[in-house]
Amino acid sequence: MDKQQHIHELIDQYLMGELVGQELDKFKIRLKDDPAFLNQVQIQKAIINSVEMARRDELKAILVDAKKPKKGFIIPFGSRSLAVAASILSLLAFGLIIKTMLPQGGEELSQADKTEQTIINEPIENQKPVSDSTQVVATLDDEDQDSLFIPPSPEIALADVVEDDETVDDASILTAESDDVDFAELKKNEDEIDGDEFKAQRDSMLGSKNVVLLAVAYETQASEATTSQEVKTAKKDGLFNRKSKEKSDKKTEVAESVPEKTLKTSPSIGIRVEFWESIVKFKGYKFDGKKLLLFDTPVSTQVGLKSYGNTTFLNKGGTWYKIVPNNSFNQMIRVSNTEILKVLNAK
């Protein structure tokens, strides 16, 4: 240890009150007699004061940091039980909202889709026009399926207008209240429907009307005489084979060339159509087969319902939508298949 380091440590000891006896006396005498030494002691004291202050600030910063809420939010111990309760309530409320908003009965929906898919994929040989409307099978090629099953966004669906080349015959859409409809039965069915699901909290019904569901089907006048072999031949010729536009055109020609098959529209059942305003601005529908709830659709909108095969279609303001009876909240699926539209628009 050199002399300067020794002096430095001596000054340290003095400043910390650790110097005693003769060494202290000697130190004090030197302080009085040696201004340079006094200067050194003063500077050392000032530096130590600054070092102490810096370290104090560092320790204080540790304590201040420990008091700060971590990750943005710390709940005091006393409030944690309340916080847990609040969290559970929030989750429940969120769950209820989700339950109200999103489609339910996923299994039903899947099943419905599966059923429809099965029908579509059914061999062409098994598909033939028959007089019984309940047995009419929609025959769609892959392209048509895509256009039918890809749901458009709700905004697009609701903003849809009738395309120029697809004039809708309003007369074909019956919106009259029919005496033939058993509204007592409707009411009964309505009661069977889970009211909580249909009446979303604070959603409000704007109005309702009863609409007759019209069943559209091909009627074969000489159906008894038509053999399955003839139908197969007709299909092979392009009657229901629509994998390309050319074939589709051909099919039309062939269909027109078969005189015994004509489209027949007949009243089926009464459907209660309700117009609802959703608090979550849901745009779509809910349909259980007997009652149709339309969300974000003005009461004044002209609506009509037709069934073709196993599928139900809604005409809303002149545009056709496919509706699925799965008792869930669904988005509107606009019908773009020209063949289906032709059938639906037929008188």
Binding site for other proteins (CB under 8 A): 1, 4-5, 8-9, 14-17, 31, 35, 38-56, 58-60, 62-64, 66-67
Q: How far is the CB of 202 from other proteins (least distance, A)?
A: 42
Smaller CB separation from other proteins, 78 or 259:
78
Q: Residue 293 in contact with residue 203, Cβ under 8 Å?
A: no
Smaller CB separation from other proteins, 15 or 254:
15
Smaller CB separation from other proteins, 5 or 118:
5
Q: What share of the chain is helix, strand, coil (3-state, %, to 5)?
A: 50, 20, 35
Q: How far is the CB of 67 from other proteins (least distance, A)?
A: 6
Distance CA 157, CA 56 (A): 68
Smaller CB separation from other proteins, 46 or 102:
46
Query: Which residues of the chain form beta strands (DSSP E)?
Result: 204-220, 261-277, 284-287, 291-295, 303-308, 311-316, 319-323, 329-330, 333-334
Smaller CB separation from other proteins, 77 or 259:
77
Q: How far is the CB of 203 from other proteins (least distance, A)?
A: 47
Distance CA 214, CA 175 (A): 10
Smaller CB separation from other proteins, 50 or 204:
50
Q: How far is the CB of 69 from other proteins (least distance, A)?
A: 13
Q: How far is the CB of 288 from other proteins (least distance, A)?
A: 56
The single-letter code of the amino acid at 302 is Q
Distance CA 28, CA 22 (A): 10
Q: How many CB atoms are closer than 10 A to CB 101?
A: 15
Sheet holding 284-287, edge to edge: 329-330, 284-287, 291-295, 261-277, 204-220, 303-308, 311-316, 319-323, 333-334
Q: How far is the CB of 82 from other proteins (least distance, A)?
A: 19
Total residues belonging to the chain? 347
Smaller CB separation from other proteins, 11 or 168:
11
Token pair of 220 as six digits: 């074969």
Phi, psi of 194 (to 5 degrees): -60, 110
Q: Residue 307 in contact with residue 266, Cβ under 8 Å?
A: no
